[in-house]
């Protein structure tokens, strides 16, 4: 595999923009791809905002911020990722869309480029099967918010090569993250544990007739969580959480994995958490 200098990030939503941010901060050139210039500009604005907050708080020099921002280009054309050494996919969690994208990436990218997916709950092996070079496909699973959460799960799919796998670890370390190596099993490490736990929390809301505020207080004050479960699910996205629960339930058939009806109803009503302005809480 080539040494990684340029990273492509496909999908510049909350996760993709966060991944692009940590990549430019680590000195990588980044080509970020979104489907419209409006979404490209929104992501660049979000990244600029968070980097400027770091400058204001004395965590980053103004020159370093400007240099980092200068390393980011955005595009709506997937072909512009042709020169990337590593591409990290962070698009919608739909297998069909990811299969189509990876087939396209294989056509566009150099043969020695590593192709990574940030999927939360889909199978990296299934995604890799969209290509005829599955050995270069790995999972690089970041946590939300990507600029703040130190962990990256580096996921070895059935046919991933040692080279591609180690490239993922090296890049994560250079980003200042802590990589954990794991195999491609449903939910990998953290979500395998966290998803059923969050679903239990949501069930407790009704069982114990406790408010979201009090449940959050209980888990932050009583269990030392940095953030209460309702705040966390709002941050991750109600739709993202429901989708990940359904995907894990489909594979593992464990009742605790299944999304509780309450949260499915919220998703169906368009209460998606922070990003829609309303979930368990209301946001400005
Ligand atoms: N992107 C970039 N920077 C951000 C950011 C974001 N999304 N959100 C906040 N920041 C920056 C801001 O500049 C903020 O400072 P400001 O408010 O002064 O501008 C700064 O980070 C610090 O923010 P906070 O004061 O909110 O930081 P905290 O010390 O409260 O910590 C936290 C925040 C790290 C998110 C902490 O609450 C935490 O660890 N929460 C748990 C999160 C968690 O569990 N995530 C995993 C979710 S599961 C997942 O992602 C898996 C997936 O597959 C679904």
Q: What is the pLDDT of residues 129-147, one digit of tens each?
A: 999 999 999 999 999 999 9
Encoding tokens for residue 119?
């999927």
- Specify the DSSP element, H or E, that contains 262: helix 261-268
Q: Which of 141, 241, 243, 245 is catalytic?
A: 141
User: Is the bond preceding 145 in cis, omega lying within 30 degrees of 0?
Assistant: yes
Q: Where do the CATH 3.40.50.720 domains begin and end in the chain?
A: 6-183
User: How would CATH label the architecture of 6-183?
Assistant: 3-Layer(aba) Sandwich (3.40)
pLDDT in tens, 60-82: 999 999 999 999 999 999 999 99
120 CB within 6 A, ligand 1: yes
Regarding the beta carbon of 147 and ligand 1, being less than 6 Å apart is answered yes
1 has a pLDDT exceeding 90: no
Determine the average pLDDT of the residues in 169-196.
98
Instruction: Say which residue the tokens 């799919």 belong to.
Output: 157
Residue 240 Cβ inside 6 Å of ligand 1? The answer reads yes
Q: What is the CATH number of domain 190-276?
A: 1.10.1040.10
Summarize the confidence of residues 252-273 as an average pLDDT: 97
Q: Provide the β-strand partners of residue 181.
A: 154
Give the model's pLDDT for residue 2.
72
CA nearest ligand 1 atom 29, residue:
226
Where does the chain hold its CATH 1.10.1040.10 domain(s)? 190-276
């Amino acid at each position: 595999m080539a040494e990684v200098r340029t990273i492509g990030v496909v999908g510049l939503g909350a996760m993709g923009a966060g991944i692009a941010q940590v990549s430019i901060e680590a000195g990588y050139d980044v080509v970020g791809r979104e489907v419209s210039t409006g979404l490209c500009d929104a992501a660049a604005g979000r990244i600029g905002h968070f980097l400027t907050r770091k400058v204001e708080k004395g965590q980053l020099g103004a020159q370093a911020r400007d240099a980092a921002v200068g390393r980011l280009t955005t595009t709506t054309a997937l072909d512009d990722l042709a020169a990337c050494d590593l591409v990290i996919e962070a698009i919608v969690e739909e297998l069909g869309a990811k299969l189509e994208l990876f087939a396209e990436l294989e056509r566009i990218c150099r043969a020695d480029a590593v192709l990574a997916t940030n999927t939360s709950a889909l199978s990296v092996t299934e995604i890799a099967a969209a290509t005829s070079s599955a050995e270069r496909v790995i999972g690089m699973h970041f946590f939300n918010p990507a600029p703040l959460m130190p962990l990256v799960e580096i996921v070895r799919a059935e046919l991933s090569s040692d080279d591609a796998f180690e490239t993922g670890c090296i890049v994560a370390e250079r980003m200042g993250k802590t990589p954990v190596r794991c195999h491609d099993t449903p939910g990998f490490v953290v979500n395998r544990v966290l998803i059923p736990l969050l679903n239990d929390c949501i069930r407790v809301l009704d069982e114990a007739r406790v408010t979201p505020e009090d449940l959050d207080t209980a888990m932050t004050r009583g269990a030392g969580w940095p953030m209460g479960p309702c705040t966390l699910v709002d941050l991750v996205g109600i739709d993202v959480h429901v989708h990940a629960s359904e995907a894990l339930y489909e594979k593992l058939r464990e009742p605790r994995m299944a999304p509780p009806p309450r949260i499915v109803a919220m998703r169906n009503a368009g209460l998606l958490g922070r990003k829609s302005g309303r979930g368990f809480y209301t946001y400005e």
